[in-house]
Amino acid sequence: MSYKQKLTRKAAFGAGLFCLFLPAAALAGAYLLSAHGSGTIGVERAVMASAGYGRGNCGHCHEMHASLTGDEPAPAGGAASPYALFAGSLDPAVKPYLETSNFCFYCHNSTGSAQQVTNRDYSATFGGGGLATGPQSIIAAFNQASYHNLGDIKTFVNNSSAYLWFSDSSNPCDGCHNPHLAKRNWVSIPANSAISKPSSHFSLWGEASPQLMSSYSYEAPYLTWQSTYVSAYREPDGGSITDGSKTPDYVGFCTDCHSSTNTIWSTTLNRNLRVINWAVGGEKHGGLARDSNPANFREPYDTAASSKSNFVFSCLDCHEPHGSSNIMLLRRRVNGAELSGAISTVNALGPLCSRCHSGGMESIHHLVANAPYPNPVQCTSCHGGQPSSNPVPCGNCHFHGSNDSWLLTKGKTPTYRKTF
């Protein structure tokens, strides 16, 4: 669609005018395979069901006439909603999110008033945390310490010329999902995808090769912690696939927005985000090979390192897609076990790193062969006090794209090694 057509369409939707019946035929096949369109698990708004609408019917989300036997069916709002949906969205750029903040929360909410749907976070569903742990609905996932800001996502996607299908009235969740296609991803992995790349909104992402992590030099983390190397117990399903052929290509997915060039504003962080460069030569957890520093890895990486000279990680090995009890969407459970403590500042990332790196901080930074700071002097210039009780804040040197040039501000000579 041209940008001009997009503007025309925006104007039509802005007025709340919407004609549903034409594209229904085109949607039909894929829609019936989707979670929403399913006749057994699909959408079912009580008030519409009692009016005779079958499970999965479009009318559970769209209101063709905005009235049913004279009254507007619950939830009733004042004005007609964009796309003739039963409710509009506010998409604020700050939490807490309420049911009224986003159309999807009328159902994807532990107390959804239209239809209650239970969903867990990635750490529980694909990371081995118990199903009773963590948030139990999508709205609960967003209302945690960190979250993908719906207002910012809406602004970013709407203003980008790469996503012409997105209108002023579009739903920010649809930046990552297509409500007419999304499937229940946890019943058949990876064959059922819940996600669509924003640049390819009208198809699902990550159901088959090459849209899988097996396209990279990937090693699936443990779902259940094992202290020795075994092929089994791996994410995302506890099985024996180690090469990522059961995991959607989340690198390709996340970097659709978080590319090495896009400027993305974050209201939460009150700054533009750092760019992410997962390509060859970019970051250590991406396409840049590790250096000769003797790596102290935990399993399964320790053993796998003898056959893989450069591990490339999935973004969801460390991050949640919706929100987290830790800052920066960092998972509460990584590589088979819960983090040893919550992460509330980028200056104390140890509980995350130590799920995969072993050896201890002094060893890693001062003692191992090729350590960055062997034989240190003037301890306080880096540590700011007694080293044992004054760790050097990690956030100065370890973040996407970082090196240790921060040391210049301490009058020290950096190694300029890539540190993330």
Q: 199 to 218, contacts with ligand HEC by CB under 6 A?
A: none
**Cβ contacts of residue 385 below 8 Å, gap of 6+?**
none
48 binds ligand HEC, rule: CB under 6 A = no
Stretch that binds ligand HEC, among 68-76, 127-135, 227-235, 328-336 (CB under 6 A): 328-336
Stretch 77-96 residues interacting with ligand HEC (CB under 6 A): 83, 85
Q: Which of 107, 123, 219 is nearest to 171 (CA)?
A: 107
Stretch that binds ligand HEC, among 69-77, 226-234, 238-246, 371-379 (CB under 6 A): 371-379
The H-or-E segment that residue 323 falls in is: strand 323-324
- Per the listing, tokens 């050896």 go with 359
371 in Cβ contact with 293 (< 8 Å): yes
9 binds ligand HEC, rule: CB under 6 A = no
Cis peptide before 294 (omega within 30 of 0): no
321 binds ligand HEC, rule: CB under 6 A = yes
164 binds ligand HEC, rule: CB under 6 A = no
How far is 36 from 59, CA to CA, in rounded Å?
A: 11
397 binds ligand HEC, rule: CB under 6 A = yes
CB closer to ligand HEC, 4 vs 271: 271
Q: Which of 67, 56, 196 is nearest to 115 (CA)?
A: 56
Stretch that binds ligand HEC, among 66-74, 128-136, 181-189, 225-233 (CB under 6 A): 181-189
Stretch 254-273 residues interacting with ligand HEC (CB under 6 A): 254-258, 264, 266, 268-269, 273
Stretch that binds ligand HEC, among 64-72, 207-215, 226-234, 393-401 (CB under 6 A): 393-401
How far is 366 from 400, CA to CA, in rounded Å?
A: 23
Largest CA distance in the chain: 82
CB of 37 to ligand HEC, least distance (A): 6
How far is 341 from 95, CA to CA, in rounded Å?
A: 24
CB closer to ligand HEC, 32 vs 232: 32
CB of 78 to ligand HEC, least distance (A): 19
